[in-house]
Amino acid sequence: MSAINGAVLVLSGPSGAGKSSLIHKIVDDIGKCYFSISTTTRPIREGETEGVDYYFVDEAEFKKEIEEDNFLEYAVVHGNYYGTSLKPVKKALTEGKLIIFDIDVQGNSAINSRLGEITTSVFITPPTLSELKIRLENRQTDNQDVIERRIKMARREIQRISEYEYVLINDDLQRAAQKLSLIAKIARFKKSNEEINEFVQKWEDL
């Protein structure tokens, strides 16, 4: 089977679950990958860089992109728009890369309906809600209102945990990173029906 085609790894979970730290820890260990950079209307946070963390746009620009059908998926999260552009995803797939998405449960559902055959999904969470609260408060990046909203959202998202193939409890960063690295490596082996059919055809021709 050709190794040219890529695959998809979706990571979801509440803000404060440690997704970014885990990604940083495994990046050198998992081979060729592309981190999907989303477009968002939420304000840029301290420490974030345009074009690295997100493409930051206003609502009018975002809506124009929706009309032009530029998104593979988009959703409203915490009152702001977030979306994944289609073009770089297509490019990375044809380059045989593992595409990593950090998106919410709505995004996971949309990606699964469009690219389900080659998608592996992981829900990352701290061991308990109280631990999540402690982490969000310690981060000191958000005010109390935002923290409350994130907690409310987390309680809603955890109800959809069964939509994920893997649940990763991030109680120890080192151990969780080892597990995520294994999942990412195996995710590459997923093949679409089209790829399998192509392989069978070529195989019979020999």
Please tell me the count of residues contacting ligand 5GP according to CB under 6 A: 16
| Burial classification of residue 139, based on how many CB atoms lie within 10 Å of its CB (0-12 exposed, 13-18 middle, 19 or more buried) | exposed
Closest CA to 107 of 150, 141, 72, 55: 72
Closer of 28 and 79 to ligand 5GP (Cβ):
79
Q: List the one residue from 9, 23, 33, 83 that touches ligand 5GP (CB under 6 A).
A: 83
CA-CA-CA-CA torsion for 38, 8, 18, 148, nearest 10 degrees?
Answer: 50
Q: Is 107 in the site for ligand 5GP (CB under 6 A)?
A: yes
Closer of 49 and 201 to ligand 5GP (Cβ):
49
Strand order in the sheet with 71-77: 55-56, 39-40, 80-85, 71-77
The CB density around residue 162, as the number of other CB atoms within 10 Å, is: 7
Q: Which stretch binds ligand 5GP (CB under 6 A): 22-30, 69-77, 121-129, 175-183?
A: 69-77
Letter for the amino acid at 154? A
Q: Which stretch binds ligand 5GP (CB under 6 A): 103-111, 161-169, 172-180, 197-205?
A: 103-111
Q: List the one residue from 8, 33, 75, 93 that touches ligand 5GP (CB under 6 A).
A: 75
Element of type H or E holding 98: strand 98-102
Least Å distance between CB 105 and ligand 5GP?
Answer: 8
Q: Which residue is nearest to ligand 5GP (CB)?
A: 107
Letter for the amino acid at 48? E
What does the binding site for ligand 5GP look like in residue numbers (CB under 6 A)? 12, 15, 38, 42, 73, 75, 77-78, 82-84, 102-104, 106-107
